[in-house]
Amino acid sequence: MAHRVGIVGASGFTGAELLRLVAGHPDLELAFATGDSQAGTRAADLYPSLSAAYPDLVFASYEAGMADEVDVVFCGLPHGASQAIVPSLLSPDRLVVDLAADFRLKDPSLYPQWYGEAHTVPELLGDAVYGLPELFREELRTAKLVATPGCYVTTATLALAPLLAAGLVEPTGIVVDAASGVSGAGRPPKPTTTFCTVDEDFTAYGLLTHRHTPEIEQNLAHAAGAPAQVLFTPHLAPMNRGILATCYARPVGSTSTEALHDALHVAYDPEPFVVVVDGSPSTKATLGSQQVHVTARADERTGWVVAIAALDNLTKGASGGAVQAANVALGLDETAGLPVVGLYP
């Protein structure tokens, strides 16, 4: 019997991606989809790509009690909004998967610093399981509240974590330069994401203050078993989807490209969605799929290690990551409903 699914905040890009993935999932069945800003709008009118799967779906307004009869709730709300409803959604018989940052950070003191306001239910932070199966698969098997990783964070973490876990690079002094497609900014129009602004342009933003910084550090510290420090600079690229993260770290002693690749292969050859590549990862190769492509190099001339990863920010970086974590928590095939092959050209 399929698990009944509700999506709260389904009218945004991550919500639309969730609807796409649920439509092709053999074990999930959509029960409702809310979108307060688009309440009363047919999903097929807002996203014609969903017409065949959801010809009659109309976005509803969220109301308490809507989730009483569902097994899984995905929350695709803006950052900060999930805290208001997640406590009422939690149940021993229900899985809640939050796609925002509301339950990602374990230290509640980081929320005022990086998100501008105190966490309203800090007692739940310890109950939330971080939704990255490559690092937290065993914890996810018993999860009832899942915090889906940030898109930049997934990319940087998967590039660097095996190298830190193997003791090949230092956990401090790490630099992460990453570029994302415009869909990472969400569906509502903004002056910085209009076509005329983005087309033929490439810009850095969130200098020194991007909210994904403490989340990256939290993951890398977990991998290294020691405090981590990262200088993270995100960039906006003139493309719809995708993230490319180029990460720089100092080696511990001497290392080689072969040793770096060996560590990546040990970590990822058993993984269904991470591919270690010899060449340079590209966003186009992962487009529309759950794939992550990673590689690494040791530069003897400068003494730096370079680790690179590419993924689709809406699939593995958001909605696909949420579904993968839900599959694990529900005891399903981890790959169910998730595309393995990217779109090309």
- Catalytic residue numbers, as ranges: 151
The encoded tokens of residue 63 equal: 């109301």
Residue pointed to by tokens 């002693």: 253
- In order of 92, 269, 294, the CA distances from 87 in angstroms are 12, 38, 37
Do residues 9 and 97 touch, judged by C-beta distance below 8 A? no
Distance CA 325, CA 335 (A): 10
Distance CA 69, CA 78 (A): 24
From the CB of residue 49, how many other CB atoms can be counted at a distance below 10 Å? 12
Distance CA 214, CA 249 (A): 17
Maximal CA-CA distance, the chain: 62
The encoded tokens of residue 98 equal: 């939050």
